[in-house]
Chain A
C-alpha cells in the first residue's frame, strides 16, 4: 500500500459522496413528481399504456405491476437473444443463444444481476446488446429504485394504504435520473476511448504480420448505464478490464463513482422523504464504514503480493498482478471491487478468481451481507431498511420496549416477514452450492482444485442470489445445470426477497406515526450506526462462516504453508 494509492481512493470516494448529496435530494424531487422537464414524453407513455400516474397502489398492486413489467421485459429479452441470428444489426452473424443460455441471460439482466455465462464480443449481436441487454439495464435499475421509493413511503405518514404508482415511479426514474446521467457519462466514456459505433469488427495486420480481429460496437452508452444502474453486465467478455471497456484510470474512477452515486444518494433521498435528513445520513454512514474497511482489506491483500510467487523470484513491488491489467493500479482495483460487490453492481476491473485468498473473500462476504453496503440501486436501500428494522428489534429486546423505527411500531408480523426475506439468501446460496459440490457434472465446471474450487462454486451462487453478477470467472457456467440453477437463484434473490419487503411496507404504511418521546431510541446517532453495523455483520454474515472457513480461509493457510493444488 502506498500513500498515493490511498490518495486515489480518498479522491474517488470523496467525489462519489459529493455527487450523491445533491443527487439524493434531486431524486426525492423526482419521486414526488416535482421534476417535469420531459412532461410531454411522460404523458405520451402514460396515455399509450392507459396509466393514471396519480392513482396510488396498495403493496399488492405495486408488487403485481412490478412483476408484470419484469415478466414482459423477460419475454422480450429472451426472444431477442434466441432470435438474434435472424434479426438485423448482427454484423458478425452470431447465432441465436441456446435455450439454457438465453433463459439464464434474460433472467440475469431482468433481475439486475447481470451474471454473464456468455462472452459479449463472441456471442451477442449489436441489437441484442443495445435493444435487449442495455434496455434491461435501465428498466431493472428503475424497478429497484421504484421499489425503494415504495418502501420509503411506508414511513412518510401514518394510516395510508397506498405506496405510490409503480409505473409513474419507473418512468420518472428512467427519464429524469438514469437517462440524462447515462448520456453525459456515455459521451465522457467515448472521449476516453470506448467505442460507440455500428461498424463491424476490424481486421488488423499487426507489426509482426499476424491478423488480429478487433471487436467494436455501440459500447460506451451501454457501459454508462451498466454502472449507473449497478447492473454490471459487460459489453465485452472481461468486463471493465477490457481496454475498450476500461481504457484508463480515469475511466475506471468514473465507473466507481457511477456505480456508487445512486445507492449512496438513495439513502439521502430516504432521509429527505421521511422528513429527517439525519436518518438518511446514518444509513449512508453504515454503508461507508463497510466500503472503506473492505477496500482496505482488499488493497492490503493484493498489494502485498503472492508469497509463493515472490519466493519463485517475482518482485513484490507491484503486488499480485495475475488477472490484473497495469493501467488501474492496486488501489483503484481495491476500491472498484469493494464498491462493485458492496453495491450489487458486479462489473470487475480485475479477475477475482486470481485474487489472493483474503482479497477474494471480501467481495464474496460483502454479497453475503445482503448487498446493502451500499447495495444495488434501490435494492440497497430497501435491504438496508430491513436491517434497520432488525436493529431496532434487537435494541428493543435489550431494553424491553416495543421497537419503533421512525415512529412506526415494529411488531411480530413485520419481524416474521423481515426474517423470511433475510433467510432467502443463505437458503439459496448454501443450498445450491452444497448440492452442486456433490454433483459430478457440476463439479466438472470448476477451473481450480482444492479449497479454491469450493470458492468458485460458492461465489457463483452467492453472486447470483445476491443479484451481483461478478464471478470467480474460471467456472464454466454455460452448462444446462448451472444456467438453470443460477437463473433460479437470481429470481429468488430478487423477487422472493422484495415481495415480503413490500408486504412489510404495506403493513407499516397503515400504522400511525407516533411522535418522538423521551423513550424513543434515536436512529440517527453513532450508537445506532454502530449497532446496525453489528447487526449486519452478525445476522447477515455469521451463517456463512463455516463455508468461508473451508474455502478462502483454508486456501490462505494452505498458501502460507507453501501448498499448491
Chain B
C-alpha cells in the first residue's frame, strides 16, 4: 500500500502547492502589474466612485438612456424565503432564462416585449433574454430604434444622438470575429457627457 498511496498523496499535495497556490499567485502578481485594469475587472470610476464594469451590463429603465437586453437574473425574495424574484442585471448571480424553443412562457414574454417595442419586425436581441443575464451589448439595429426616445427625453436633436451612436458601434474583432455591437454603459456615459 505504501508504494501506492505515498506517491499518490505526495504528488497531489505538492502539485496542489505548485498549481493551486504558487502558479495562480504568481499569475495574479504579474497580471496586477502588466494589466492592472483588466485584472481588476475593467472597472469604470466617476468622481472616485465605481459606477460599474465596462464588461458587465447594467439595467437602464429611464427613457433618457439606451436600454439593454432583457435579463433573466434573479435575487432571493426577502418576503418569501427559499424563492427568488426577478432582479435584472444582478451581477452577483449570473443566469439565463433557460426557456426552451417551445416554452409557452417564453413565447408569451416575447409577445409582450414585441408589443412594447412598437414597429415590427423587432431585432431579436431586443426581445430575448441574454445567456449571461449581464450582456453589456445591444445590436446596432436595436440601438438605432431607441434614438427617438432618447432624443425626446433629453430634448436634443436626433441627429446628435445618431452621431454619438455611430461612434460607439464596435465592429467585428479583427474585422472578422463575432458580430458588431454597442456597449450600452459606455454609450450612456457618453450621452451624459454630451452637455
Contacts and interface: CB of A to CB of B under 8 A. Distances in A.
A247 interface: yes
Given A327-B181, A447-B98, A314 B62 contact: no
A392 B187 CA distance: 61
B188 interface: yes
A70 B34 CA distance: 36
B106 interface: yes
Given A208-B61, A220-B39, A238-B94, 19 more contacts: A51-B7, A68-B4, A130-B20, A134-B19, A183-B27, A204-B43, A212-B91, A214-B50, A237-B93, A243-B56, A243-B135, A252-B178, A309-B128, A315-B122, A315-B124, A321-B128, A323-B128, A329-B179, A565-B103
A131 interface: yes
A137 B149 CA distance: 49
A351 B39 CA distance: 26
B60 A354 contact: no
* Band of interface residues on A: 35 or more
Nearest to A236: B94
In order of increasing CB-CB distance, the 6 nearest A-B pairs are A249-B178, A474-B98, A131-B20, A313-B120, A315-B121, A452-B100
A326 B56 contact: no
A242 B131 CA distance: 8
9 contacts: A49-B7, A195-B40, A196-B28, A248-B178, A249-B179, A320-B124, A323-B130, A354-B100, A559-B101
Interface in B11-47: 11-16, 18-21, 23-24, 27-28, 30-32, 34-35, 38-43
B194 interface: no
B177 A253 contact: yes
Interface of B: 3-16, 18-21, 23-24, 27-28, 30-32, 34-35, 38-43, 49-62, 65, 69, 89-104, 106-107, 110-111, 114, 120-125, 127-139, 141, 172-174, 176-179, 181, 185, 188-189, 192
Contact of A308 (B16, B30, B102): B102
Given A205-B49, A312-B107, A238 B56 contact: no
Most buried by A among B58, B60, B95, B131: B131
B97 to A, nearest CB: 7
Nearest to B115: A313
Interface string A331-366: 010000000000000000111011111000000000
Interface in A179-216: 179, 182-183, 186-187, 190-199, 201-208, 210, 212-216
Contacts of A11: 176-177
A527 interface: no
Most buried by A among B20, B27, B101: B101
Nearest to A308: B107
A244 B12 contact: no
B155 to A, nearest CB: 18
A414 interface: no
Contact of B20 (A132, A248, A455, A565): A132
Given A194-B38, A448-B100, A328 B7 contact: no
Nearest to B27: A221
Given A214-B52, A215-B91, A316-B121, A474 B99 contact: yes
A325 B137 contact: yes
A473 B54 CA distance: 27
Contacts of A205: 49-51
B191 to A, nearest CB: 9
Contact of B178 (A196, A238, A317, A328): A328
Given A167-B11, A215-B91, A329-B178, A179 B23 contact: yes
B92 A201 contact: yes
Nearest to A324: B131
Contact of A139 (B12, B27, B50, B185): B12
Interface stretch (A71-79, A155-163, A279-287, A370-378): A71-79
A323 B128 CA distance: 8
A135 interface: yes
A449 B98 CA distance: 12
B129 A76 contact: no
Interface in A10-57: 11-12, 41, 44-45, 48-51
A196 B128 contact: no
A322 interface: yes
Contacts of B176: 4, 7-8, 11
A244 B43 contact: no
Contacts of B92: 121-122, 201, 213, 215
B84 to A, nearest CB: 12
Contacts of B69: 326
A317 to B, nearest CB: 7
A325 B176 CA distance: 17
Nearest to A448: B100
A473 B98 contact: yes
A315 B97 contact: no
Nearest to B4: A68
A455 B103 CA distance: 13
B8 to A, nearest CB: 4
Nearest to A563: B102
Contacts of B141: 315, 317
Given A196-B31, A202-B50, A322-B128, A191 B38 contact: yes
A312 B114 contact: yes
